[in-house]
Amino acid sequence: MESWQQNLSRWTSHPRLDDQIKAELQEKADDEQWLIDGFYTNLAFGTGGMRGEIGPGTNRMNVYTVRKASYGLAQFVKKNATEPKVVIAYDSRHFSPEFSLEAAKVLGTEGVQVFLFEALRPTPMLSFAVRHLNADAGIVMTASHNPPEYNGFKVYGNDGGQLPPHPAEALVKEVNSVEDELQIEVKSEDYLRQQGLLNFIGTDIDEAYTKALSQIALQPSLYTAGIPLSVVYTPLHGTGLLPFTQSMKTLGFEALHIVEEQAIADGDFPTVSSPNPEEHAAFEMAISVGDRVDADLLIATDPDADRVGLAVKNDTGEFQVLTGNQTGALLLEYVLQQRKTQGVLPANGIVMKTIVTSELGRAIADSYGLTTEDTLTGFKFIGEKINQYNASKEFQFQFGYEESYGYLIDDLARDKDAIQASVMAVEMALHYKQQGKTLYDALQELFQRYGWYKEGLTSVTRKGKRGAEDIEQLMHLFREQPPETIAGMRVEAIEDYAQKEVRNLMTDTTEPIQLPASNVLKYRLADEAWFCLRPSGTEPKVKFYFGVKEISEDKAVSKLQAIEEDVMALVKTRM
């Protein structure tokens, strides 16, 4: 592998280096650490694609790293299809349109027919379009909810889902075999359009997607029943505005208020510190509008509209932002309840969630006689299972979700779909409002019925080469020197997803884990409490997940806090 100095020299000596990149390298010529971080390695192209800070360097998102990824994808699809087709969408991030066109030009130059959205569209619409157009792959230029300096390149397979491990590894091999990203040649946009290799799409896909969305309604009459429900929606400067408002219009729901300042697509995300509905601060402007119009429900989608957060009025009349686990539990209960009432809930129905998602979902599914299956973190694993069971007929997919605000109700898309979830959230709120209840009331009823489940999430960010080493060392120490007790509770079992085994410390036995290997550690404590460590695959951070179940809210909050404090104190001594 080349040193950072060799990579830098290769770039600065390239005769046709992009002028903007050349100028930035000259400006930063004395900032050695910045140069090291940009050139010490290649931007990792993993099983879901790549994501990184925008800027010059082999380890950043720029026209050349996009060309490299696109060239690898072109070789991959040509080996798997005789007349390959790829769909490309992009969000509101900086350089998303430019990177998308560059990817299209590389693919077209390699003889792959490309269907590029004419303007920004959400990730779930790309997933839908891949299947609708019978394409062989898809790309979304997005960094989801990351800060403004990031962008990314997400790859989808012919089923509209992110690639599962085996084909993903084949794609990664193709990308990594590109020796010099600076030498990839591309033909002009005009030439590729004339040859039919570059095609622009938009309205037809919008209409097909909106029609499909309207058909997931379980009680379509509720949207036009005149129930006095008021909803505030914000796309957080991203892609969700068009498809969500079109869906609401198609279904006939009119009491929708838009946060106008955040309706404008803008890669700087100027009105929020982070365009992430997982962050309560992202709801500040929506809450202000909600107070003004006396709203019942606030909805926020992230920039590429695959994640959605909800805020509802609590007992004091103030807006409370729900966690991803709480929103998932509400949606799951409502969907299963309605399907059972209507006699369409299959006996072999299955609910899918990730290993770090609340166990409340399993309790709900159990009460309806359904199977729950855990997957690794990442919706691609849920999409893979949907395909598997659609083929085998062993199970019928009913609902899939993850704690990080991602939900799928109908498999018209094969990735988490914030537009679907937002449509269903409005219907769900209408249903309970008709009964004189708020969504907060419905949530309390869930806890009273199934137990007080509480979850927490803490992240530690470590950027650059040194940060990656710190995170690797932390995982090594927790794996080799696991804690015996946490918050006064004994660690009863350790799930090591890298080793693919569960070690039961109470019986001194091990069992295999039937999931792909992943660098994740989960520790099970007494009384259904647990915590988990997982380095992010797309950001320079390690995430710590926590979960408890108790007989009251106070007890759950107290136990969760004690576990979080004890674990993070231990982390501090090891990082």
Residue 468: is its pLDDT beyond 90? no
Residue type at 472?
E
Beta strands in 376-442 (DSSP E): 396-402, 406-408
pLDDT at 540: 78
Q: Which band of pLDDT confidence, cut at 50, 70 and 90, is reported for residue 467?
A: confident
Span 452-574 CATH architecture: 2-Layer Sandwich (3.30)
The residue among 315, 21, 279 whose CA lies nearest residue 147 is 279
Residue 87: is its pLDDT beyond 80? yes
Residues 92 and 314: their CA atoms lie apart, in Å, by 33
CATH topology of domain 209-450: Alpha-D-Glucose-1,6-Bisphosphate; Chain A, domain 3 (3.40.120)
Residue 346: is its pLDDT beyond 80? yes
**Average pLDDT value for residue range 165-173:** 91
Inter-residue contact 525 to 492 (CB < 8 Å): yes
- Percent of the chain residues past pLDDT 90, beyond the cut: 93
Domains 4-109+141-192 and 452-574 share a fold: no
Neighbours of 20 (CB within 10 A): 11
The residue among 275, 264, 265, 304 whose CA lies nearest residue 138 is 304
Lowest mean pLDDT among 54-68, 421-435, 460-474: 460-474
3-state secondary structure of 156: strand
Any residues with CB less than 8 A from the CB of 310 and at least 6 apart, and which? 297, 298, 299, 300, 321, 322, 327, 425, 439
Residue-wise pLDDT for 316-326, tens only, equals 999 999 999 99
For the whole prediction, is pTM greater than 0.85? yes
Give just the sign of the alpha carbon dihedral 242, 404, 372, 158. Answer: positive
Residue 237: is its pLDDT beyond 70? yes
Residue-wise pLDDT for 20-70, tens only, equals 999 999 999 999 999 999 999 999 887 778 999 999 999 999 999 999 999
Residues 35 and 455: their CA atoms lie apart, in Å, by 40
Residues 69 and 296: their CA atoms lie apart, in Å, by 45
pLDDT at 46: 78
Inter-residue contact 335 to 424 (CB < 8 Å): yes
pLDDT at 48: 79
Look-up: residue for tokens 């800060």?
147
Inter-residue contact 290 to 311 (CB < 8 Å): yes
Burial (CB count within 10 angstroms: exposed 0-12, middle 13-18, buried 19+), residue 510: middle
Residue 464: is its pLDDT beyond 90? no
Residue 1: is its pLDDT beyond 70? no
Residue-wise pLDDT for 179-189, tens only, equals 999 999 999 99
pLDDT at 144: 86
End-to-end CA distance of the chain: 28
HEC readout, 28-42: CCCCHHHHHHHHCCC
Burial (CB count within 10 angstroms: exposed 0-12, middle 13-18, buried 19+), residue 27: exposed
Do β-strands 49-53 and 231-234 pair in parallel, antiparallel, or remain unpaired? unpaired
Neighbours of 13 (CB within 10 A): 9
pLDDT at 538: 61
pLDDT at 31: 94
pLDDT at 454: 97
Phi, psi for residue 456 in degrees, rounded to 5? -140, 160
Class of domain 4-109+141-192: alpha beta
Residue 220: is its pLDDT beyond 70? yes
Catalytic machinery residues = 144
- Tokens at 484, concatenated: 């015996």
Q: 354: which strand partners?
A: 375
Give residue limits of the domains in the chain: 4-109+141-192, 209-450, 452-574
Inter-residue contact 301 to 422 (CB < 8 Å): yes
- The mean pLDDT of the chain is 95
- Percent of the chain residues past pLDDT 70, beyond the cut: 99
Residue-wise pLDDT for 256-305, tens only, equals 999 999 999 999 999 999 999 998 999 999 999 999 999 999 999 999 99
